[in-house]
Structure 1
Amino acid sequence: MYYRIHIQGHLASGLQDSFAGLRIEQQEVGTTLFSGTLPDQSALYGVLLQFIRLGVVLLSLVSLETS
């Protein structure tokens, strides 16, 4: 499954390695966009759990089927 996850704020560059496999784009408006393929739903939960632990605000999550 391909995901686009939009969060409020920017992450410190040292934390970005924790999201291996996802492309990370810091937006000029002060948000960050994560995008990429995750192997299963448990991997998605792992990413979301990292956001919770960091205390970031989830703005949106979109999933798209990949073929």
Structure 2
Amino acid sequence: MATLDFSELGSKPADEKLEGLVRLIGERLGLTMSRTGRGADQGRDLIFTETQSGRIGSAPIR
């Protein structure tokens, strides 16, 4: 796994640093990311999806 560059998180507001870190980790793991538009945090929730394949077929797992 490649090394994460934490320097890009330093210029963001404090409430976005954790989300940015989680987003980077998800991307490095090859997960598909989407944001929700719900909640008091103005849509800052992240949802990751992974497609799992088996003998019968494949399915997205959130």
Length-normalised TM-score, structure 1: 0.33
State TM-score, norm by structure 2.
Answer: 0.35
Does 1 or 2 have the higher relative contact order (CA < 8 Å, sep 6+)? 1
